[in-house]
Structure formats: structure tokens, C-alpha cells
Chains A and B, each alone.
Chain A
Amino acid sequence: MDMNKIVLIDDDEDSLNNLSLSLKSEGYDVIAVTSGKEGLDAVERASPSIVLTDLNMPEMGGIDVLKRVKISNTDAEVIVMTGHGDMEAAVKALRYGASDFINKPVSDEVLKLALKRAKEKLVTRERFRAYTSDLENMCHMAIGEVKRKSDFQDKLITSSNDGIVATDENGRIIIFNPEAEAIFGIPRIDVVRKLDFRQLFPPQIADVFGRMFSAGRRMGDVDWQDVMIPRKDGDDVPARFYCTLLFDGEETIGSVGFFQDLREIRRLQQELVKSERLAAIGQTVARLAHYIKNILAGLKGATYVVNIGLDKNDIDKLKTGWQMVERNVGRISYLVADLLAYSKEREPEFRNCFPNDIAEDVCELLDGMAMENRIKVERDFDPSIKDVSMDPDMAHRILLNLVSNAVDACIFDLDETKRHKVSVGTHRENDNIIRFSVLDNGTGMSEEVKNKIFSAFFSTKGGRGTGLGLLVVQKLVQEQKGSIEIVSELGKGSTFIVRLPYKQVE
């Protein structure tokens, strides 16, 4: 808009010329026309800052010009010129938005003043518009920012993996996200602004919220806790839950609870336990089958030898075959005994006995086999041990297993330079405990073997071991509330220490 451009409208050509000259001499760029219609065209075309129009004109009067200019999209100020004393027309013009009116004939002073005021008005309005526009922009931006933040938080809450339940300061629920719907099994519309937390939560959780509200700031952090969320459909949901109060300064403005659905985790845990158990059973069965297969192979060999003996009437073959049968029957007996010992619960039967005698008996049982293989069985018994009350059968069984393992460890050892020996010891420890120790300098165990010795049917002895001996030892020791300790080094040997509690003889 050109501040110096004026459209001048007057049907009186003399007046028009006079005013035009006078304005031009003031430095204005004047478009002078003689009718309202031409005036409006000029306004449309030239965007003047000021329109100066006569009121009384034929065809289109000044009021009409004024109205049209005001509804057009120009910002031009309109000054009207009235005949002398035509106050009514002047007031009407002001009501329609004229910026000023001046009487005809127009004096230069009055015109100058009117133009000055109109220009000031224009400037003010321009500034005001700029301010308004700035303000609008800022307002728009601020609203946009707030909306973005709120949308972001909305989305965050909506898409959270945690169920989120928030209340106002009175405990009425105001946020209930989709995950909360899934956990509680209630649609949002039945909850938000309709229920109080006391109505929604089971007593265990409602109680925590209640205490939190009454404690306010003094309540410390609540730990995550596992809860069961009852549902109307009966599918109760296990969940972890955590809650906290929301404050604005010192004032409580609400609370929020977070709920983690544990159903999937629980299902996976159960599946894991199940699959581990199945794997363990599978492995156990496979090893048992392998061991029985070995025995079966022995028996098949035996029937072959017996059949040959029968065919040929060869009594020696028959004897040999029969020995094979007996040996394998023995192996099955041991296996069954071990299996039973392993699977049966057995309370220890405390009786008076001499631990050193038990150890001596075991040593004597294995002396023969050890001697055959050039292995020395040493005794290192604590003479201070008198008669005690413990389960002698179990102690015997434990020691027999350990000492025969120790002898085997020497038999299987490839190191010819060693003088193989097994040392069996007893020792009385404090708090009514006898310590039995079985030491050998045989093969020793690798870490891998050490990790497997207590698993069912694991054996390093080929067909000779049931793979149950140490498992039975472990179980018997546990049943007597004792402990077992193993030190072993590959190539050097192993030491097994078993501590068994005893009672004083009555």
C-alpha cells in the first residue's frame, strides 16, 4: 500500500480540480474521478491508502462507496466530505467506518489534519496487525507444541507395554491404557471417570494405593511387587506392579500405577522347566537303555556259548556260558539295587556302630581286587573315634562306592610310573561329625567329567559302571544331612570327603 496514494471522488469538477491541485502540491499521488463507480475501480486497481469521497453524488453516493471499500480487501481509510451542517450523514458515515469527515468547502487546514489522522490510524492499524499476526503465530506455535507434546505422551501411554492406570487426587481413574484393558479385562470406557481405584483394584493393590494417598510425601518408594489380578472372566492375571503419587509442588495431584503382564513370562518359564525335565528324562532313559543293551549283549553271548556247549555236549563250554549268565544276572541285580536306592526315599536308621570298623570292612572287601592290580589300600583311621550312633548300612554303602571308584581310577590310570594307592581315612570333627576321606592317585578327573559325575548313568568305565554309584552316594549323604566334597586333578588323582553327622550313643 502506497501511503501517498489518494483516490479522490467528487462529482463537482471544480471542487475536484481544486482539491486535486491542493493535494498534489502537498506531495500526494492523486487519482481524481467524478463518480463512485470510477472511484471503486480506482481503489481496486491502485490500492490507495486513503479514499476521499464526496457524500452527495448521483448514481452511487459516498456512503455506498464507503461500504464497498470497507468490505473490499483494501485497508484504505475513507474520509468523507459533507455539505455544511449535514451532521446526520456524517454520523452515518462514521458508523460505517469512515475515519473522519470534513465539511465542504474544504479548507486546507482541516484537510491536512484529517489526512494526518487517517495516516496515523493506518500506521497504528498496520502495527496492530503486525502485533496480532505475531501473537497469532506465537499462539499457534505454542498450541502446536503443547499438542505435539500431549500427542506424544498420549501415544507413549497408549503404546506402552506396561498397563498404566492413573487417578486424580481423589482416586478417580483418569487414564487406563490398552495394556491395562488387556490385564484387567475391562474396556476403558467402563473405567475412565467412572470408577475409583478402590472399585477397580483387588484389595492387595487398593490397600497400597490407599496407604500411599494417606501418607502423601512421607511414603517412600514402593517396591515392585507380584500380584494376582482377578478378572470377571476367571482368567486371573499374574502381574508385577509399582505405583507412585504425582505431585505439583507439595500438592498431591494424582497417582499412577504400572502393571507388567507376567502371563507370557510364566508360560515360557513353565515350558522351559517342562522341556528341561523332558530332556533329562530322555537322557536318563537313553543311558539306561544303553546300559541294559550292554547286559543284553552279554546275555546273548552267554546263550550262544551255552548253545554250543549243549550241541557239542561240552561241559566246559556249558560252565563258561553259565558263568556269563550268572555274571549278567549279577549286573542286573546291581543295577536294580542302585536304581531302587536312588529312587526310594529312606529315612536314616540310627544304630550304635564303630565308624572305623565300617571303613575297615570296606577296605577288606576291596583289598583282593586292589592287590591283583598292584594297588595298595592304606588305612588312616582316627583312634579317638569310639562307638557312635549313625546309620551304619548307609555309611558302608557310601564308602564302598567311593573306595571301589578309587580302585577303578587306579586300574584305569595309564601312568605306569606311579605306585598306585588308595587311602581311606576317618576323622572325628567338632559338632558331632565323622569325616570319611577316600584319596587315590589314579586318573583324576577333567573339569568336564567333574561336572557330570552326579548325573544319572554317566560313567567313564565303559560297560563296567552303572553310572549310578555317585548319584546314590550323593542321595544317601543328603538323606543323612551330611555333605560331600571333591578335589580332583586330571592325571594326579581324586579325593572324596564325606561328612556324616552322628549322635552320642545312648
Chain B
Amino acid sequence: MSKRVLAVDDDPDIIMFVKTVLEEYGYIPLIAMNGETGLSITRGEKPDLIILDVLMPKQSGIRMYRELKGDEALKNIPVIILSGIARRTFLRSQEALTEFGDQPIPEPEVYMEKPVEPAELAEVIANLIG
């Protein structure tokens, strides 16, 4: 049975692009336009992989990522961060949250900076979930 991949991004272009790539390579795409919806879909559907944007309205990717990795039931779902902001900026904001008393959390499995080539994204997904 095909693996299901959740794409969370507020940019409809990115959603359409990622959705098309997923379909092309034989995955079933799930879609959320903000972190809040993303989290509830994750809890309901238990996807095999999450592709997550960082800058979004309603619960940013930074927060959603912490929720995922802090939740026993969800923390083993691999996450690809696909963002316009640089990897070190993302890591720095995670460190800042940790310093403010939150639990330290692991780094994402893969961090990709936009824009990304379709074949490159497909390869990374295949490496993670086959």
C-alpha cells in the first residue's frame, strides 16, 4: 500500500508542487495550509512522513515541529523541513526555545532550503520511507 505524506505549507504554489511530486512518485499526499491543521491531520491520519514549512500563520513550523518531536506517539514520524529560511536560522530558533525552558528536541531528519528540484525531493523521500 502506498505511503502517505503530509505537506504543511501556507504557500499554495508549494503545496501544489509538492502534491504533484508526491503523486508522480507514487505517494498519497495529505495537505495542510497551517500548523494547526497539520497537527490535527497528523494525529488523525498518522502519515509516514511530514514535509513542513517553517514560516506560516497559525502555529508556525517551529512550534509544530516541537509538538511533533515532543509527542511520544508522533515523534518517530520522520520530518523534512522545506523552508525559505536557512537551516542555521531554524536551528538557532529551536535552541532559543530550548533555552527558555522547553525540552531539547532532536534536529530534523532532513533540512531542505527552497527552491528544491522535484527529483531531489523524491530522492530524499525515498531515502526516508522507501
Residues of A whose CB lies within 8 Å of any CB of B are: 293-294, 296-298, 300-302, 304-305, 308, 317, 320-321, 323-324, 327-328, 373, 408, 411-412, 414, 461-464
Q: Determine whether the beta carbon of A462 is less than 8 Å from that of B55.
A: yes
- A-B contact list, 30 entries, CB within 8 Å: A294-B114, A296-B115, A297-B13, A297-B114, A297-B115, A298-B14, A300-B115, A301-B14, A301-B20, A302-B13, A302-B16, A302-B17, A304-B20, A304-B21, A304-B118, A321-B16, A323-B16, A373-B57, A411-B57, A412-B57, A412-B58, A414-B58, A462-B11, A462-B56, A462-B84, A463-B11, A463-B55, A463-B84, A464-B10, A464-B11
Counting chain A CB atoms within 10 Å of each CB, which of B21, B55, B59, B60 scores highest?
B55
B interface residues, tally (CB under 8 Å):
21
Contacts of A463 in B (CB 8 A): 11, 55, 84
C-alpha spacing A317/B13, complex, angstroms: 13
C-alpha spacing A411/B59, complex, angstroms: 10
B20's partner among A294, A305, A373, A414 (CB-CB below 8 A) is A305
Q: Determine whether the beta carbon of A414 is less than 8 Å from that of B13.
A: no
User: B3 contacts the other chain (Cβ, under 8 Å)?
Assistant: no
Nearest 3 A/B pairs, CB to CB: A301-B17, A297-B115, A462-B55
User: B12 contacts the other chain (Cβ, under 8 Å)?
Assistant: yes
Contacts of A317 in B (CB 8 A): 20
Q: Determine whether the beta carbon of B115 is less than 8 Å from that of A293.
A: yes
Counting chain B CB atoms within 10 Å of each CB, which of A298, A321, A373 scores highest?
A298
Q: Determine whether the beta carbon of A298 is less than 8 Å from that of B84.
A: no
User: B43 contacts the other chain (Cβ, under 8 Å)?
Assistant: no
Contacts of A305 in B (CB 8 A): 16-17, 20
B80-119 contacts to A (CB < 8 Å)? 84, 114-115, 118
Contacts of B16 in A (CB 8 A): 301-302, 305, 320-321, 323-324
Residues of B whose CB lies within 8 Å of any CB of A are: 10-14, 16-17, 20-21, 24, 55-60, 63, 84, 114-115, 118
Contacts of A323 in B (CB 8 A): 16
- CB-nearest residue of chain B to A443: B57
Q: Determine whether the beta carbon of B57 is less than 8 Å from that of A308.
A: no
C-alpha spacing A462/B14, complex, angstroms: 13
Q: Determine whether the beta carbon of B63 is less than 8 Å from that of A414.
A: yes
C-alpha spacing A411/B36, complex, angstroms: 12
- CB-nearest residue of chain B to A459: B55
C-alpha spacing A464/B56, complex, angstroms: 10
CB distance from A139 to the nearest CB of B (A): 80
Contacts of A412 in B (CB 8 A): 57-58
Counting chain A CB atoms within 10 Å of each CB, which of B13, B114, B115, B118 scores highest?
B13
C-alpha spacing A454/B14, complex, angstroms: 29
Contacts of A461 in B (CB 8 A): 55
Q: Determine whether the beta carbon of A324 is less than 8 Å from that of B24.
A: no
CB distance from B113 to the nearest CB of A (A): 10
C-alpha spacing A328/B12, complex, angstroms: 11
Contacts of B84 in A (CB 8 A): 294, 462-463
- CB-nearest residue of chain B to A306: B20
CB distance from A438 to the nearest CB of B (A): 19
CB distance from B66 to the nearest CB of A (A): 13
Further contacts, 20 of them, CB under 8 A, given A298-B14, A300-B115, A320-B20: A293-B115, A297-B114, A301-B14, A301-B16, A301-B20, A302-B16, A304-B17, A304-B118, A305-B16, A305-B17, A308-B20, A308-B24, A317-B20, A327-B12, A327-B13, A373-B57, A411-B58, A412-B58, A464-B10, A464-B11
Q: Determine whether the beta carbon of B13 is less than 8 Å from that of A301.
A: yes
Q: Determine whether the beta carbon of A324 is less than 8 Å from that of B13.
A: yes
Contacts of B55 in A (CB 8 A): 461-463
